[in-house]
Amino acid sequence: MSEQSSNESGVEPTGAGSAGSAEAATEPTPVRPAEVDSVARAAQTPELPLPYAELGMKDDEYARVREILGRRPTSAELAIYSVMWSEHCSYKSSRVHLRQFGDKAPQSDALLVGMGENAGVVDVGNGWAVTFKIESHNHPSYVEPYQGAATGVGGIVRDIISMGARPVAVMDSLRFGPPDAPDTRRVLDGVVRGVGGYGNCLGLPNIGGEVVFDDCYAANPLVNALCVGVLKPEGIKRAIAPGPGNKVILFGAGTGPDGIGGASVLASATFDEESQAKRPSVQVGDPFMEKLLTECCLEIFDEDLVVGIQDLGAAGVSCATTELAAAGTGGMDIDLNTVPLRDPTLRPEEILMSESQERMMAVVEPAKVERFLEVCAKWDVPATVIGEVTDTGRLRMTWHGETIVDIPPGTAADEGPVYERPYEVPADLAQLQADGPGRLPRPATPEDLRNTVLWLAGSPNLADKSFVTSQYDRFVLGNTVLAMPEDAGLIRIGDGPQGIALATDGNGRYARLDPYAGAQLALSEAYRNVATTGARPLAVTNCLNFGSPEDPGVMWQFARAVEGLADACQALGVPVTGGNVSFYNQTGTTPINPTPVIGVLGVHDDVNRRVPMSFNVEGTTLLLLGETRPEFGGSEWAHVVFQHLGGLPPRVDLAAEAALASVLVAGAREGVLNAAHDLSDGGLSQSLVESCLRGGLGCVVDLPDDPFTELFSESVARAVVAVYPEHEERVTALAQAAGVPVRRLGTVGGDAFEVAGLFSIPLSELREVHQGALPALFG
């Protein structure tokens, strides 16, 4: 069973940090059927050496394939096993840990489809279900930022479609190297254009995400794309191929030499020494085809024309056929010659491994094939019957009449190797944790405090992200109620008033200091962000970005992060519905900071009662909910002012988080909150700056005790709310009933951010600093 599925390029860099380079095809060699490595030939030449090591397969893995088949694999079979048993498709290093998400899953009536399918599905009530998932496309986005990011969006959107849903929004969680490095400009520019170019053309509003800069991502940018879709619970589709005699249809784009760097080894080394055709390792996206495919699929679903469907992502036809067959009746016959090709010279091994985009595979009853093909024709989507379901328990493929694949599909799809990789605490962790932020000099004077507010507000991680988000369409489909820079994106579903909220968060610095807490803090923040809009958090998706699992220190970080996330999901009562693991994010032997990115989905009963972040009513009262402790380990203050990373991250307090969320949700439902904004990176200072600038009104706050801690601490489970004076009592009562500390901070008004008795900053000055930073770097 695949615990989580994945779409990232199957290429696994071996520590160099990049996925190899794209090279143009040269002198393609026409296929000569006589050279086909058939099953019969494999039986006759049992000792013919195959380049399994070059395909990333270990000796014992290859031995196991021989044992399963009782002979050497054909080159086509080797292609299938090598990609299906790759880290990327098999989760062989992560699987033993990921089981905790299931074992510790909280009881939830809302979960309709859990982990293991293309994406999880949750029931959001009123006859609607929602499916959502986040996935990485990190390595391709470094090699070719535009196409890497674009196809990252395309891949996750197809996952959502293949659950039977109409995609309704996307989000993107991005991490780049230092903002002033020349290569960051190349990567950021391409990635943002790619996310926008694909998502905009597909007609999906981009409603949020993150843009983070850190030296550790310089040669390992993180591009995590999330998609959410809406469907009726009875319309859920599965990736299964049941019913002998049912037809297997490949539809969408033609198959070309995309992302098959590995397969060219097979095509050249084994059979034709002269063919050195190197294939590009990064796929190229065609969002227009994906748009056609989307509408085509939705019409096909409406007419109930499929019994099973699977999108083609990593490992292409190999993955789709083995997984569909393994999850269905168990057998499938495929004629590979019928696969429509963009490049007629492709070898069968290359067809099997091609990661050409915008393709889907459907299983269709014979009586419905004609209508299926008609719908495809209406949308100009090429569709071809390439095989049928059997009850043989074997996946068989032919090429020019010869059988080149004959395997039990489950052995490739579900029974890949499982590793219990050794892990140990990174050698430098104790030293890192001992070097706390206590030694850092704090701003001593009101002037210093004022400057620190400005410094943080204009730092790349906290600065206004409009430079990025204005390149995305947030209006299309007409249901976007809230989008970035709001705490969470909020989408109306059906005809309303119901809606869904989504937020993604992750903090690699926290996770570096303590991966168990870091994963929990990411969940905590996303959970809080969703609740801040008034939505009730319901379910979780995750994208776990780490270095090499072969490094025991990284493996320890991974194990701790998964454990932390699973424990926190259990405590907060929100199940993990799916996600993705991305390993090998490192340069040489230096891994990125462990970066679990967590997405939380919430439900809003009435989007008319959503709570925005902007201070826009003069005279409203500001209340601070939650407790502030002096917590600066991994904080933006330490990072921006001192480039310091050390100590421990803020203390996790999931009970306080749940209590705060209950107050925010109740306050929204009662309509007593005029604005709310969570406190996280940069603390209270940054939250007030953002809410003031968003609404165009200043505020005056009173910070009598320790203004430095009050302004810049990053303690969890806190939010600032603006309420009409007549609601102050009610909100205070709600907080007290839930055990949430509440304190009156001040009032909204004027045109400056003022801390009484200490300093005042005109909004115009803040705006220039906050909004000018990214355009100055990248404009």
Partner 1 sequence: MSARVGVITFPGSLDDRDAARAVRLADAEPVSLWHAEGDLLGVDAVILPGGFSYGDYLRAGAIARFAPLMEKLVAAARDGLPVLGICNGFQVLCESHLLPGALTRNTGLHFVCRAQRLRIENAETAWTTDYEEGQEVVIPVKNMDGCYVADPETLDELESSGRIVARYLDVNPNGSLNDIAGICNEAGNVVGLMPHPEHAVEALTGTSTEGLGFFTSVVKKLVAA
Given 88, 604, 644, 677, the catalytic residue = 88
Q: Which of residues 199-218 bind partner 1 (CB under 8 A)?
A: 200-203
Q: How far apart are CA 48 and CA 372, in angstroms?
A: 43
Q: Minimum CB separation from partner 1 for residue 150, in Å? A: 13
How many chain residues touch partner 1 (CB under 8 A)?
A: 32
- Cα end-to-end span (Å), the chain: 47
Q: Which of residues 682-741 bind partner 1 (CB under 8 A)?
A: none
Given 97, 137, 604, 639, the catalytic residue = 137
136 annotated to bind ligand: yes
Rg (CA), the chain: 27
Q: DSSP label at 44?
A: H
> Residue 198 or 708: which CB sits closer to partner 1?
198
Classify residue 315 as left (phi > 0), alpha (psi -120 to 50) or beta: left
Out of 127, 180, 288, 424, the residue judged to bind partner 1 by CB under 8 A: 288
Q: Minimum CB separation from partner 1 for residue 260, in Å? A: 24
Q: Is 88 a catalytic residue?
A: yes
355 annotated to bind ligand: yes
> Residue 54 or 303: which CB sits closer to partner 1?
303
Note whether 477 binds partner 1 by CB under 8 A. yes
91 annotated to bind ligand: yes
Note whether 292 binds partner 1 by CB under 8 A. yes
431 annotated to bind ligand: no
Q: Minimum CB separation from partner 1 for residue 229, in Å? A: 16
Q: DSSP label at 315?
A: B
Note whether 303 binds partner 1 by CB under 8 A. no
Out of 259, 287, 602, 612, the residue judged to bind partner 1 by CB under 8 A: 287
Q: Minimum CB separation from partner 1 for residue 47, in Å? A: 50
Q: How many CB atoms lie within 10 A of CB 510?
A: 30
Q: Which of residues 571-630 bind partner 1 (CB under 8 A)?
A: 607-608
Q: Which stretch binds partner 1 (CB under 8 A): 21-29, 48-56, 197-205, 740-748?
A: 197-205
Q: Which stretch binds partner 1 (CB under 8 A): 198-206, 525-533, 638-646, 672-680?
A: 198-206
Q: Minimum CB separation from partner 1 for residue 496, in Å? A: 8
Q: For residue 239, which of 313, 153, 350, 150 has the smallest C-alpha distance?
A: 313
653 annotated to bind ligand: no
Note whether 479 binds partner 1 by CB under 8 A. yes
> Residue 287 or 409: which CB sits closer to partner 1?
287
> Residue 616 or 760: which CB sits closer to partner 1?
616
> Residue 196 or 331: which CB sits closer to partner 1?
196
230, 169 in Cβ contact below 8 A? no
Q: Which stretch binds partner 1 (CB under 8 A): 53-61, 139-147, 464-472, 577-585?
A: 464-472
Note whether 473 binds partner 1 by CB under 8 A. yes
Burial grade of 271 (CB within 10 A; 0-12, 13-18, 19 or more) = middle
Note whether 359 binds partner 1 by CB under 8 A. no
> Residue 183 or 189: which CB sits closer to partner 1?
189
347, 31 in Cβ contact below 8 A? yes
713 annotated to bind ligand: no
Q: How far apart are CA 432 and CA 438, in angstroms?
A: 13
Note whether 30 binds partner 1 by CB under 8 A. no
Q: How far apart are CA 402 and CA 321, in angstroms?
A: 18
Beta strands in 488-638 (DSSP E): 489-492, 499-505, 536-545, 576-582, 586-587, 590-591, 595-604, 621-625
Q: Minimum CB separation from partner 1 for residue 604, in Å? A: 12
Q: Minimum CB separation from partner 1 for residue 265, in Å? A: 33
Close Cβ partners of 98 (under 8 Å, ≥ 6 residues apart): 3, 4, 91, 115, 562, 581
201, 224 in Cβ contact below 8 A? no
Q: How far apart are CA 365 and CA 673, in angstroms?
A: 54
Q: How far apart are CA 174 and CA 196, in angstroms?
A: 13
Out of 291, 450, 509, 727, the residue judged to bind partner 1 by CB under 8 A: 291
311 annotated to bind ligand: yes
Q: Minimum CB separation from partner 1 for residue 128, in Å? A: 17
Q: Minimum CB separation from partner 1 for residue 283, in Å? A: 17
Q: For residue 26, which of 343, 257, 278, 353 has the smallest C-alpha distance?
A: 278
Buried b (16+ CB within 10 A) or exposed e, 449-488: bbebbbbbbbbbbbbbbebbbebbbbebbebbbbbbbbbb
Q: Is 137 a catalytic residue?
A: yes
Q: How far apart are CA 515 and CA 649, in angstroms?
A: 10
> Residue 405 or 613: which CB sits closer to partner 1?
613
Note whether 470 binds partner 1 by CB under 8 A. yes
x-or-dash string of contact with partner 1, 490-519, rule CB under 8 A: --x---------------------------
- Largest interatomic CA distance in the chain: 89
Note whether 286 binds partner 1 by CB under 8 A. yes
Burial grade of 107 (CB within 10 A; 0-12, 13-18, 19 or more) = exposed
> Residue 421 or 610: which CB sits closer to partner 1?
610
Residue 757 sits at the vertex; the CA angle it makes with 752 and 762, to the nearest 5 degrees, is 15
Q: Minimum CB separation from partner 1 for residue 305, in Å? A: 20
Q: How far apart are CA 372 and CA 293, in angstroms?
A: 13
224 annotated to bind ligand: no
**Residue the block writes with tokens 């990635």:** 191
Close Cβ partners of 640 (under 8 Å, ≥ 6 residues apart): 455, 456, 459, 461, 462
Q: How far apart are CA 116 and CA 415, in angstroms?
A: 14
137, 155 in Cβ contact below 8 A? yes
Q: Minimum CB separation from partner 1 for residue 197, in Å? A: 7
Q: How far apart are CA 184 and CA 194, in angstroms?
A: 15
Note whether 379 binds partner 1 by CB under 8 A. yes
DSSP 316-365: HHHHHHHHHHHTTTSEEEEEGGGS-BSSTT--HHHHHH---SSEEEEEE-
Out of 22, 68, 476, 571, the residue judged to bind partner 1 by CB under 8 A: 476
> Residue 193 or 400: which CB sits closer to partner 1?
193
Note whether 284 binds partner 1 by CB under 8 A. no
Note whether 481 binds partner 1 by CB under 8 A. yes
Q: How many residues comprise the chain?
A: 779
Q: How far apart are CA 293 and CA 315, in angstroms?
A: 20
Out of 132, 472, 516, 556, the residue judged to bind partner 1 by CB under 8 A: 472
135 annotated to bind ligand: yes
Note whether 480 binds partner 1 by CB under 8 A. yes
> Residue 189 or 765: which CB sits closer to partner 1?
189
Close Cβ partners of 559 (under 8 Å, ≥ 6 residues apart): 97, 423
764 annotated to bind ligand: no
Provide the binding-site residues for partner 1, judged by CB under 8 A.
Answer: 193, 196-197, 200-203, 286-289, 291-292, 295, 379-380, 469-481, 492, 607-608
- Enzyme catalytic residues: 88, 137
Task: Specify binding-site residues for substrate.
Answer: 136-139, 158, 283, 355-357, 582
